[in-house]
């Protein structure tokens, strides 16, 4: 079967993007179990926006959100109430806002704030979505207090740095075994 006219016959970046998809999906599952309600969606949305095509980033973050909800209700014992389900939807919408913000602020060119600006945008958009939902849905009195927001920010920032380091190390190790390495640490950040 011949490829459609105008479409490339191969995708040279596919292998690298598959690595990012696997890292985002696997870490999203693991971090959902470990952090439950503080899953670092902003960090994951940032990585998706920086390293994946639009359709791939939506699929990856949608998978992580859905897995988070399945784990929450099926394994972690989230209550089966209307407000808990509504918060799950609000988290999903906030994930979408984070992906949009990170995507709008990301660049393919090396830039001084190539990672931090999309991350801050994703975090702000995610929290804004949750705050707006909190105006309509029942929430704890201090759910949007500075200590909680600070904690969520640091979980996301640490997760972003940790996942970038994991990818960099795995790319470097793969390079020693004959696969093409991702390049310098700066190259892994782009």
Residue-wise pLDDT for 21-42, tens only, equals 888 888 888 887 777 778 899 9
pLDDT at 182: 40
Does residue 83 have a pLDDT over 50? Answer: yes
Give me the mean pLDDT over the 98-103 stretch: 96
Does residue 57 have a pLDDT over 70? Answer: yes
List of residues 6+ apart from 131 with CB closer than 8 A = 144
Does residue 177 have a pLDDT over 70? Answer: no
Residue-wise pLDDT for 120-164, tens only, equals 999 999 999 999 999 898 877 777 888 999 999 999 999 999 988
pLDDT at 20: 81
pLDDT at 3: 41
pLDDT at 11: 58
Does residue 106 have a pLDDT over 50? Answer: yes
- The residue among 116, 186, 114 whose CA lies nearest residue 156 is 116
Per-residue buried b or exposed e for 111-143, using 16+ beta carbons within 10 Å of the residue's own CB = eeebbebbbbbbbebbbebbeebeeeeebeeee
pLDDT at 91: 94
pLDDT at 111: 65
Does residue 10 have a pLDDT over 60? Answer: no
pTM, 2 dp: 0.80
Average pLDDT over the chain, rounded to an integer: 82
């Amino acid at each position: 079967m011949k490829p459609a006219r105008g479409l490339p016959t191969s995708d040279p970046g596919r292998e690298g993007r598959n690595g990012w998809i696997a890292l985002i999906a696997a870490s999203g599952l693991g971090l959902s179990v470990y952090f439950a309600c503080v899953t670092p969606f902003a960090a994951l949305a940032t990585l998706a926006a920086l390293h994946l095509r639009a359709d791939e980033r939506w699929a990856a973050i949608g998978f992580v959100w859905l897995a988070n909800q399945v784990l929450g209700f099926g394994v972690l014992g989230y209550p089966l109430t209307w407000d808990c389900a509504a918060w799950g939807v609000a988290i999903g919408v906030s994930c979408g806002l984070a992906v949009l913000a990170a995507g709008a602020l990301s660049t393919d060119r090396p830039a001084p704030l190539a990672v931090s600006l999309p991350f801050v945008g994703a975090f702000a958009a995610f929290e804004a979505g949750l705050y707006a939902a909190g105006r309509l849905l029942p929430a704890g009195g201090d759910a949007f207090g500075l200590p909680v927001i600070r904690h969520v920010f640091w979980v996301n920032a640490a997760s972003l740095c940790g996942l970038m380091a994991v990818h960099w190390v795995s790319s470097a190790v793969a390079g020693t075994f004959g696969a093409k390495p991702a390049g310098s640490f700066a190259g892994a950040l782009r």
